[in-house]
């Protein structure tokens, strides 16, 4: 019997945070992109058109399997998104023709031209809304296909209420595994080749974060947070100048973001990771340390005496799953994430601002800054469920109003770094037998006027490249500043891979 449209559950606090900004037009999606090497068997088709059709059919077949058997969140909608009480609903059917798109890439472009073209496409995609989310599941797959060079950049765009950044890796893991399973079966297709998938069973979603993670909120933290959010301004003391975060929050223009990307070879990544281990820190912390020195050398002390940086933390390691939970959270789409903030106080900022006498002295400043933020993150991981703002999200009665009230407030942070980690090139499939293989992994997300001045997203393929996407919002950060900043970040990481030194430049921003 065909499934009837059914309410599954209310959205949790973080899910409402995401759904409200989508309904306000402030944030549309997060997009995880992986480059797939096409299997040699697809080259056996007689014509170029035949090869394109073979790629389309393989991906359609794989996505069908994932929707029906692997990721139930791909067949739900969000009802009442513009209200205070949105709910997830089970959809009776979805049309894959509305969810899978193929764009043919022209051959002959240089790698930089290919990257630039993809970033312009992703700038449009991250601003592209999902329509009718109550009746259409808000996700899509865009396949940028280059048959001449035998690869496809596959972008999985999803509404953030359905999935976090890790979920993008989970989707691509299922996709590469399923594509290889199809290949091993001799490219068999389903008997039903219709794009319309009809469902008979109610999908079971991963529970909300507040159900899976046992947050503990102390009274002092609760009262401080409530006072900060709701206390009348005339009763608050005049704030001391805080960390430099640039201009105040503006929610207009909506969704006008800029993206840059660069890639680091496996050899460069190996050198960076070895140095991180020697300094007892991580690649994420190292990027924070570099950003601290780069920012400190762009702004004088009377403008920026301290900086505030942000990083999301996956909460998957901290869940306490109920005995009857059927999901493996490391293989399921969900929203399980928490922010961590760290302030670089004046002493470390001044240390980074002063250019060292030698390259070694200068690099020590980067490592000191990296170790500081890394130590802070480790300490937070030890008690992440205590006094975590994610445990208070249920107290917000109107998320739409919460967003509107941020207009004109101080920006949350100077910069943000997110590292979703690395993905296996073939998932759980034996690499020796796999035809489809992942060569790159990175992600981009919608840009909102509440963002940091600079956002850095890091992703990689195990044993291969690491890709870094840098984003900024139009009118918040100047393009010339952001482009030069990205060039310097890239150059510092490349230099370390070849010389063993970052050689961070000093550039005063005018």
What percent of the chain has pLDDT above 70? 94
| Same-domain check for residues 262 and 394 | yes
**Contacts of 112 by beta carbon, 8 Å cutoff, 6+ apart:** none
**DSSP secondary structure letters along 9-69:** EE--HHHHHHHHHHHTTS---EEEEEEEEPPGGGGGSSSHHHHHHHHHHHHHHHHHHIIII
Q: Which of 138, 173, 198 is the last residue of a domain?
A: 198
Q: 199: exposed, middle or buried (C-beta count within 10 Å: 0-12, 13-18, 19+)? A: middle
Query: In this structure, are 251 and 137 located in the same domain?
Result: no
Among 319, 7, 4, 311, smallest CA distance to 165 is for 311
Percent of the chain with pLDDT over 90: 83
Residue 78 is assigned to a structural domain of this protein = yes
The answer to whether residue 150 sits within a structural domain is yes
Instruction: Read off the pLDDT of each residue in 38-53 and give the average, rounded to a whole number.
Output: 79
**What is the reported pLDDT for 508?**
62
- What is the band of 242 on the pLDDT scale with cuts at 50, 70, 90? confident
Residue 240 pLDDT level (bands cut at 50, 70, 90): low
Mean pLDDT of 39-57: 81
pLDDT of residue 185: 67
Residues 250 and 185 in one domain: no
Q: Is residue 106 part of a domain?
A: yes
Which helix (H) or strand (E) covers residue 193, if one does?
A: none
Position 11 pLDDT exceeds 80: yes
Beta strands, E only, 320-434: 337-344, 415-423
235 or 150, higher pLDDT: 150
Q: Is residue 505 in some structural domain?
A: no
Q: Is the peptide bond before 253 cis (omega within 30 degrees of 0)?
A: yes
Q: How far apart are CA 332 and CA 73, in angstroms?
A: 9
pLDDT band at 510 (very low <50, low <70, confident <90, very high): very low
- HEC letters along 193-221: CCCEEECCCCCCCCCCHHHHCCCECCHHH
Is it the case that residue 194 has pLDDT exceeding 90?
no
- pLDDT over 80 (residue 1): no
Q: Tell me the pLDDT tens digit for each residue of 155-183.
A: 999 999 999 999 999 999 999 999 999 87
- When the pLDDT of each residue in the chain is averaged and rounded to a whole number, the result is 92
CA 15 – CA 159 distance, rounded (Å): 10
pLDDT digits (tens, 9 = 90+) for 70-100: 999 999 999 999 999 999 999 999 999 999 9
pLDDT score at 190 = 47
CB 188 within 8 A of CB 82: no
pLDDT at 40: 85
Q: Does pLDDT of 191 surpass 60? A: no
Residues 65, 193 within the same domain: yes
Instruction: For residue 161, give Cα distances in angstroms to 15, 57, 263.
Output: 4, 29, 29
Indicate whether 284 and 141 sit together in one domain. no
> Do 456 and 477 touch, CB atoms closer than 8 A?
no
Q: Is residue 295 part of a domain?
A: yes
Domain hosting 460: range is: 246-317+336-427+447-499
Tell me what pLDDT residue 4 has: 81
Radius of gyration of the chain (CA): 23
For residues 73 and 333, the answer to whether their CB atoms sit within 8 Å is: yes
Residue 8 contacts residue 134 (beta carbons within 8 Å): no
pLDDT at 509: 53
DSSP for 219-288, written as a single string: HHHHHHHHHHHHS-GGGSPPPPP--B--SPP---STT-EEEEEEEE-HHHHHHHHHHHHHTT--HHHHHH
Q: Is pLDDT at 235 greater than 60 in this prediction?
A: no
Is the separation of the CB atoms in 212 and 316 below 8 Å?
no
Residue with tokens 């947070």: 225
Q: How many angstroms separate the CA atoms of 154 and 167, rounded? A: 15
Same domain, 250 and 194: no
Q: CATH number of the domain that 111 lies in?
A: 3.30.559.10
Domain end, chosen from 141, 173, 198, is at: 198
Query: ∠ CA 405-124-314 to the nearest 5 degrees?
Result: 60
Geometric angle at alpha carbon 425, from 121 and 178, rounded to 5°: 85
Place of tokens 């006498």: 357
pLDDT surpasses 80 at 228? no
Contact 37, 151 (CB under 8 A): yes
Q: How far is CA 126 from CA 118, 123, 188, 213, in A?
A: 12, 5, 34, 30
- Examine residue 386 and state whether it is found in any structural domain, yes or no: yes
Number of domains in the chain: 2
Of 142, 170, 198, the domain-final residue: 198
Are 379 and 492 in a shared domain? yes
Is the confidence at residue 186, as pLDDT, over 70?
no
Does some domain include residue 209?
A: no
Which CATH number is 344's domain given? 3.30.559.30
Domain match, 250 and 161 both = no
The DSSP 8-state label assigned to residue 386 in this structure reads: B
162 and 266, same domain (yes or no): no
Across 105-130, average pLDDT: 95
Whether 436 maps to a domain, the answer reads no
Give buried/exposed letters for 385-401 (b at 16+ CB in 10 A, else e): bebbebbbbeeeeebbe
Residue 312, SS3? strand
pLDDT of residue 189: 47
CA distance 481 to 371: 27
Mean pLDDT (whole number) for 184-209: 79
Same domain for 475 and 351:
yes
- For the chain, first and last CA: distance in Å? 67
Query: Same structural domain for residues 348 and 478?
Result: yes
User: Do residues 266 and 368 both lie within one domain?
Assistant: yes
Q: Taking 70 as the threshold, does the pLDDT of residue 44 lie above it?
A: no
């Amino acid at each position: 019997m065909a499934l009837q449209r059914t309410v599954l559950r209310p959205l949790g606090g973080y899910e409402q945070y995401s759904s409200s900004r989508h309904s306000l037009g402030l944030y549309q999606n997060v997009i995880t992109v992986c480059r797939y090497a096409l299997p040699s068997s697809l080259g056996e088709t007689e014509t170029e058109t035949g090869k394109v059709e073979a790629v389309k059919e393989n991906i359609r077949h794989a996505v069908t399997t994932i929707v029906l058997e692997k990721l139930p969140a791909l067949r739900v909608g969000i009802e009442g998104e513009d209200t205070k009480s949105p709910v997830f609903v089970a959809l009776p059917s979805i049309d894959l023709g509305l969810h899978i798109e193929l764009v043919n890439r022209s051959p002959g472009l240089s790698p930089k031209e290919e990257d630039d073209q993809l970033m312009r496409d992703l700038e449009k995609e991250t601003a592209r809304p999902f329509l009718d989310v109550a009746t259409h599941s808000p996700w899509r797959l865009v396949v940028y296909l280059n048959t001449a060079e035998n690869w496809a950049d596959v972008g999985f765009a999803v509404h953030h209420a359905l999935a976090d950044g890790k979920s993008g890796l989970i989707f691509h893991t299922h996709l590469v595994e399923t594509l290889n399973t199809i290949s091993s079966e001799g490219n068999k297709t389903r008997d039903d080749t219709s794009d319309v998938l009809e469902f008979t069973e109610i999908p079971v979603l991963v529970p909300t974060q507040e159900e899976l993670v046992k947050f503990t909120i102390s009274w002092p933290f609760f009262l401080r947070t409530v006072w900060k959010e709701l206390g009348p301004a005339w009763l608050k003391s005049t704030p001391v100048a805080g960390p430099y975060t640039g201009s105040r929050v503006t929610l207009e223009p909506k969704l006008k973001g800029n993206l840059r990307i660069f890639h680091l070879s496996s050899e460069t990544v190996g050198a960076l990771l070895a140095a991180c281990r020697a300094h007892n820190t991580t690649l994420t912390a190292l990027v924070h340390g570099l950003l601290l020195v780069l920012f400190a050398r762009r702004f004088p002390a009377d403008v920026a005496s301290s900086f505030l940086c942000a990083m999301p933390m996956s909460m998957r390691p901290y869940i306490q799953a109920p005995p009857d939970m059927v999901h493996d959270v490391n293989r399921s789409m969900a929203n399980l994430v928490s922010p961590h903030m760290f302030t670089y106080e004046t002493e470390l900022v001044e240390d980074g601002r002063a250019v060292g006498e030698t390259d070694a002295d200068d690099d020590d400043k980067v490592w000191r800054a990296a170790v500081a933020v890394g130590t802070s993150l480790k300490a937070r991981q030890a008690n992440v469920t205590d006094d975590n703002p994610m445990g208070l999200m249920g107290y917000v009665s109107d998320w739409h109003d919460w967003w509107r009230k941020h207009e004109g407030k101080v920006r949350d942070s100077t910069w943000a770094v997110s590292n979703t980690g690395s993905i296996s090139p073939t998932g759980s499939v034996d690499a020796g037998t796999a035809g489809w293989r992942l060569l790159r992994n990175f992600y981009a997300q919608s840009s909102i006027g509440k963002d940091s001045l600079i956002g850095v997203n890091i992703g990689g393929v195990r044993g291969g490249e690491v890709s870094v996407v840098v984003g900024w919002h139009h009118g918040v950060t100047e393009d010339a500043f952001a482009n030069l900043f990205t060039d310097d970040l890239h150059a510092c990481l490349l230099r370390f891979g070849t010389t063993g030194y970052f050689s961070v430049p000093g550039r005063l921003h005018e």
